Amino acid sequence: MVFHRTFITCLLTFSSLFSARAAAPSPKAATDLICHTNHASECYPRIFQPTENFQTVHDDQNLPPGLHVRMNLVTGVKEARLNIPEPDEDLASSSLTIIDDSDMLGYKEAKEGIETSRISAQEGASASRQQPFLPPQHDIAESTLFSDSASELKSHVSQDTENLLPALENLEDLSHSYHWGLSLAKDSQLTHKLFQLLLPSNHYLEVRSLATLVLGTAIHNNQAALTVALTHFYNDEWSEGPLEAVILALLHEQSPILLNRMMFLLSSLCQDKTQLKAFLDAGGVELLIGIFDAESMAENDRHKLRKKVTHFVLDHLMPAETDNTSDNDTIEESDMDAEWTMIHLKRHSESRQPPEERP
């Protein structure tokens, strides 16, 4: 009888504990949802939740850093997935390598970092920023396209542009990706070839224009690619680099398309402080004033070129003027017109003159 009573008492106690635990409120989901309709099935997380496969990224979603992001050329939408490592190899090679389990260690660590971000948006973003960059695992088509296009460019010696232009177009398209931009910049032979193609000695304007765009795209907002690309120049073998070619083109070229792309490459190069200083020391501000004042091209072409110059001022010259800008001199977006740009170009030019030579 005592055993029976003890068993019943334990059973009731266990039942009470179970009921209390079941009644406790479930923890609030750390991931906020965005819902534009009343249908729950159409909601999605505010923080993008990556997997091994590409998924659509909505315009109002926040992307954790370190993902492989691409634009789907078929659907026209942005897609992203986890970065998955592949062996460190010569990306210009057409050979394929099978990744074994040991190569997935870094990937598993990166995935754990992404999972941690689901606990809290702020903690997740901070944890993701601490993750090292891991190159994504590319499909065969992407890897083959890069390899074939790079090989075509490096082996091209004739004046025939039939195969050269498609190769440049493919590289330009791929170089929007952080990984392929960095891969291009690491290849010294490929970088030197692009440099040679954008020189005035190349009489094919379309080739020069595309080569300029490819190099500018590869290093644009890609500090790692810019840094490694510059290591291939300014040495015993290559005393000059793309910056000198850009300055020469801006001085003498007349083609609006080439000039616009040269301005894009210039802005990409000047993300490096040494390149920006070299450009300014070479009379770069006066060169920009001359371009901005030029009236020899059609109105629409001149407007596009002036816009490039204005963006250059905003991106590279305004930070240097911040300390000298008073509260009454705040620049509003509506003021970013021809007069505003010219005022700041001339102001920057005067600031570089010795005090005794200033007007």
Bigger pLDDT: 328 vs 66: 66
**Torsional class of 311: left (φ above 0), alpha (ψ -120 to 50), beta (otherwise):** alpha
In this prediction, residue 279 carries a pLDDT of 92
Task: Tell me how far apart the alpha carbons of residues 164 and 177 are, in angstroms, rounded to a whole number.
Answer: 21
| Residues above pLDDT 90, as percent of the chain | 30
In this prediction, residue 290 carries a pLDDT of 85
pLDDT of 219 above 90: yes
pLDDT of 217 above 90: yes
In this prediction, residue 67 carries a pLDDT of 86
In this prediction, residue 131 carries a pLDDT of 44
User: Across the chain, what does the average pLDDT equal?
Assistant: 74
Closest CA to 184 of 256, 98, 268, 276: 268
pLDDT of 343 above 90: no
Among 15-19, 37-41, 89-93, 230-234, which stretch is predicted with the lowest mean pLDDT?
89-93
pLDDT of 355 above 80: no
In this prediction, residue 350 carries a pLDDT of 65
What tokens were used for 209? Answer: 């224009």
In this prediction, residue 338 carries a pLDDT of 66
**Confidence class of residue 208 from pLDDT cuts 50, 70 and 90?**
very high
pLDDT in tens, 249-283: 988 888 999 999 999 999 999 999 999 999 999 98
**What are φ and ψ of residue 294, in 5° steps?**
-60, 135
What tokens were used for 71? Answer: 């634009």
Bigger pLDDT: 36 vs 234: 234
Look up the pTM and report it.
0.58
pLDDT in tens, 108-125: 444 454 444 444 444 444
In this prediction, residue 328 carries a pLDDT of 40
**Torsional class of 23: left (φ above 0), alpha (ψ -120 to 50), beta (otherwise):** alpha
Task: Tell me how far apart the alpha carbons of residues 23 and 149 are, in angstroms, rounded to a whole number.
Answer: 63
pLDDT in tens, 304-322: 888 888 888 888 887 544 4
pLDDT in tens, 33-68: 888 887 777 788 889 899 888 888 988 888 888 888
Q: CA distances (Å), 136 to each of 102, 107, 246, 277, in order?
A: 16, 10, 32, 35
In this prediction, residue 195 carries a pLDDT of 93
pLDDT of 74 above 70: no
Task: Tell me how far apart the alpha carbons of residues 274 and 238 are, in angstroms, rounded to a whole number.
Answer: 17
End-to-end CA distance of the chain: 110
